[in-house]
Amino acid sequence: MNMIFMLLGFSIILALVFLVAFLWASKSGQNDDLYTPSVRILFDDEPRKEEKAKCDEDHLKP
Amino acid sequence: MPAAPYYSGDKQFCCLGCRSVYQILSSHNLSNYYTYNEVPGQSQKKNPQFFDYLDEEGIAADLIDYTDEERTVITLYIPAIHCSSCIWLLENLYQLNPHILQSRIDFPKKQVSITFRNKEISLRQVAELLDNIGYEPLISLQDVVKKQQGSNAERRLITQIAVAGFCFGNVMMLSFPEYFGFGKLDGHYRIVFNWINLALSLPVLLYSAKDYFVSAWTNLRKGILNLDFPLALGIAVMFVRSAAEIITATGSGFIDTLCSLTFFILIGKWMQQRTYHYLSFERDYRSYFPVAVTRISEGKEQPVPLNDLMTGDRILIRSNEIIPADAILLKGEARIDFSFVTGESAAVEKVLGEMVYAGGRQLGAAIELEVVKPVSQSYLTKLWNNESFGSQKSKIRTFSDTVSRYFSIALLAVALSAGLFWINTDLNKAIAAFTAVLIIACPCALALSSPFTLAAVLSVFDKNKFYLKNTEVVEQLARINTMVFDKTGTITNPASGGFAFTARLTETQQQLVADLARNSGHPLSRELVKWLNKDNMYAADQYREQVGRGITGRINGHEVKLGSAAFLGLQAKTTGSVVHIIIDELYCGYFLSEQQWRPGFKQLAMQLGKNYDLHLLSGDQDHDRQSLAPFFPASRQLHFRQSPQQKLDYISTLQLKGAAVMMLGDGLNDAGALRQSDLGIAVTDDINNFSPGCDAILDGAAFAQLPQFIRQAKDAVKIIHMCFAISISYNAIGLFFAVQGLLSPLIAAILMPISTVTIILFTSLSARFYAHKNKLL
């Protein structure tokens, strides 16, 4: 019987955590620009010149 | 790609600018820029900009977001941002210059926020770096970078929605057992569940729904019954009755309905408030004028803020810069593009000593001028001193404004009579009936119908390149009965395509026509000469011109006649700007200047002319009077040589006669008329370009669809009326139970969401249906 009250408490606390997380995200401006991050994630970190040269060398090795 | 492209290695470039951008990028190992898009970047043919004014501390301080000993943060508006390559490059600025610490793009707003070490690199150098790689920041007098003030209100609304949604979800979970009825065993849970519900309703009542109480109260004090009044009343009554029931343990109240209602109406409000971040409807001359201008004093050039510019100052205007105040040309050759002011794209040449009005852009080399009027008092800018710019545009009475008054009165009447009916037999039932009426008739569906319908219409318009400032404009659009057009740039196509010719002329014949037409000042003659592109060879003998009708003359022994059909005694078959040609009594065909009007203007004018009163206000000479006359009902409705102020006054005269005026304009000289009119639409061929303050921005490509937009707006109003009927019938069902005092929380909990969902479905489906019917989807 008391289990129900416990579960109730947990469910509300969990929901509160999500609410707070959303409010924090909204407050820190994460919802202001919904387009740019979706593009940003697709950019590769390109290797630096020296690394690139090294990569090419590695490829050439048998 | 031009015939002779520029090369760097094995790569081709359209111009020197693009090649140098490539060289900068590749030397910094940033060639990935070219991999994210087929054709990234924009053609780099513009002249370099001067950012020396950014070294002036006073000017820079106004632009900077944040600065301390080490670093500075600035947000710049860059109109050239248009693709993912732009994002990539601009976020990799730190690779171009190590003193730039970070740069973040806000793509929808076309803004970049740059953090840099202010000891090592100056703001000016940052701006120059951006300009070098082709992303010229636009720094204007009224900073176009939108500060965060607007988004605070939006964030607050989002928070309110989030809180309401959280409470709504949990309350629904806890109310569910109630709907099926508690058994004997678990009856004691009910009390606990109810108390938790009551606790959860507090944030909804006190935080999420707060604005409704505030708005209802402030309006009530002004004697206005707006839609917020029955909403606030319903919410308050719901809470009080629920609290009473729960505290006395007599029932479980309407907490679930309260939370869902608040949640839904807040979403409706959010739909209504959504705006286009990337468009500005509030621009005036200040967002177009630069922040500073170069002043020459005692032989030294120094940038000064525009506000410090005084009469008698000598200023230097370099190529591509804007003349900020009325001035007299002292030195250099002025070729000035007034397209922002008048919409006319052809450059105007000025001679020394001539007056140059503010707002033009110098196309030629640098010139020097003497300021004769302060910036705010110039011919163009003094328009903004007019009182119509001082006050807020008066809000229109929307349908829901009108309805809510009667609705509130009727609601109170029904509630009171239901209460009075029962008061003698059963006091409890009387209270139950009275409160139940207020709860069930809470106009949730009604409050949602306008925002959802109008938001759906807005997105349909948006797909067709017609951008409205807010949802109210849709209703305004449906009420228009008079239309006023600007000519140049609005109904004429700025990129005039030249002439269509029906027959072939030999080279010599072309030469004859060109040499005759050269003598005439008529715009068609001039365009013809330009189009034929022949050097002057022969002089014209016996030249005669009937202004606006035609010209005749003898060229190299040939008798040449150019002009309208009536002038040459021909049977006219064509309409529009036609130049017929007769050489040596032989008819050679005609030139047709079809491109002069925007495509579809003729059909548009004919279609709209049936139902609307059309007027024309042009700042130009009246040489187009003849060709425009057929489109307008009476010649007295065509007005030429209008100053910006006269345009504004003309609109207010029409409004005094009771007309609901829509103004279509494009340049700064229409800004007053756009502002004064009931609905000002700026017509532009590139929505990212400058457009004056207005209620709506119409892409030139969608110009011909204007009648469809108006029809869609009228249909939207029709949909709102239908929604009203639907929500009233739901209310009637609820009232049937309520007046008898039989309203159970379950009925309320079912009826409220069903009516809401019905309205949302109905509005979005019917808006799409009408959009299909109007050929907008």
Answer for the pair B754, B730: CB distance below 8 angstroms, yes or no.
Answer: yes
Q: Is the pLDDT of residue B186 over 90?
A: no
Give residue-wise pLDDT tens across range B54-111: 887 777 877 888 888 888 988 888 878 877 778 888 888 888 888 999 898 888 878 8
Which of residues B83 and A18 earns the better pLDDT score?
Answer: A18
pLDDT band at A61 (very low <50, low <70, confident <90, very high): very low
Which of residues B691 and B663 earns the better pLDDT score?
Answer: B663
For A19, the closest of B84, B158, B162 (CB atoms) is B162
The vertex-B388 CA angle with B702 and B478, nearest 5°, equals 40
Residue B322 is given by DSSP the state B
Q: Smallest Cα–Cα separation from B462: which of B669, B212, B182, B771?
A: B771
Instruction: Kindly report the nearest CA distance between residue B95 and chain A, in angstroms.
Output: 11
Asked if B276 is an interface residue toward chain A (Cβ–Cβ < 8 A), one would say no
Judging contacts by C-beta atoms under 8 Å, the chain B residues touching residue A48 are 29
Instruction: Please tell me whether residue B10 adopts helix, strand or coil conformation.
Output: coil
Asked if B543 is an interface residue toward chain A (Cβ–Cβ < 8 A), one would say no
Give residue-wise pLDDT tens across range B515-554: 888 777 666 777 777 777 777 778 778 888 776 678 888 8
Which of residues B120 and B35 earns the better pLDDT score?
Answer: B120
Question: Hey, what are B758's tokens?
Answer: 């019905």
Most confident of B401-410, B503-512, B702-711: B702-711
A15 and B196: CB-CB below 8 Å?
Answer: no
> What is the Cα–Cα distance from B204 to B113, expressed in whole angstroms?
37
Instruction: Please tell me whether residue B92 adopts helix, strand or coil conformation.
Output: coil
pLDDT of residue B1: 45
Q: What residue of A is the nearest CA neighbor of B153?
A: A27
Judging contacts by C-beta atoms under 8 Å, the chain B residues touching residue A32 are 106, 151
Instruction: Report the pLDDT averaged over residues B354-363.
Output: 85
| Span of B28-37, B218-227, B286-295 with lowest mean pLDDT | B28-37
pLDDT, averaged across chain B: 83
Which of residues A29 and B713 earns the better pLDDT score?
Answer: B713
pTM of the prediction? Answer: 0.77
Q: Is the pLDDT of residue B600 over 70?
A: yes
pLDDT of residue B199: 95
Question: Hey, what are B437's tokens?
Answer: 């009426």
Sign of CA pseudo-dihedral B195, B196, B200, B202: positive
Instruction: Report the pLDDT averaged over residues B762-775.
Output: 92
For A15, the closest of B91, B158, B169 (CB atoms) is B169
Judging contacts by C-beta atoms under 8 Å, the chain B residues touching residue A31 are 158
> What distance, in Å, lies between the first and last C-alpha atoms of chain B?
35
Instruction: Report the pLDDT averaged over residues A25-45.
Output: 83
Instruction: Report the pLDDT averaged over residues B365-392.
Output: 80
What is the arrangement of strands in the sheet containing B292-297, beginning at the earlier edge strand? B300-305, B292-297, B314-317, B367-371, B327-331, B355-356
A40 and B32: CB-CB below 8 Å?
Answer: no
Asked if B237 is an interface residue toward chain A (Cβ–Cβ < 8 A), one would say no
pLDDT of residue B161: 95
pLDDT band at B38 (very low <50, low <70, confident <90, very high): low
> Percent of chain B at pLDDT above 70?
88
How many other C-beta atoms can be found within 10 angstroms of the C-beta atom of residue B465?
16
> What is the Cα–Cα distance from B763 to B455, expressed in whole angstroms?
10
Q: Is the pLDDT of residue B483 over 70?
A: yes
A49 and B29: CB-CB below 8 Å?
Answer: yes
> What is the Cα–Cα distance from B617 to B606, expressed in whole angstroms?
18
pLDDT of residue A62: 46
pLDDT of residue B662: 94
A39 and B107: CB-CB below 8 Å?
Answer: yes
Distances (CA, A) of B718 to B129, B608, B730: 54, 20, 19
pLDDT of residue A10: 93
| Span of A12-26, B143-157, B368-382, B455-469 with lowest mean pLDDT | B143-157
Q: Is the pLDDT of residue B745 over 70?
A: yes
pLDDT of residue B163: 96
Residue B205 is given by DSSP the state I
Which of residues B523 and B283 earns the better pLDDT score?
Answer: B283
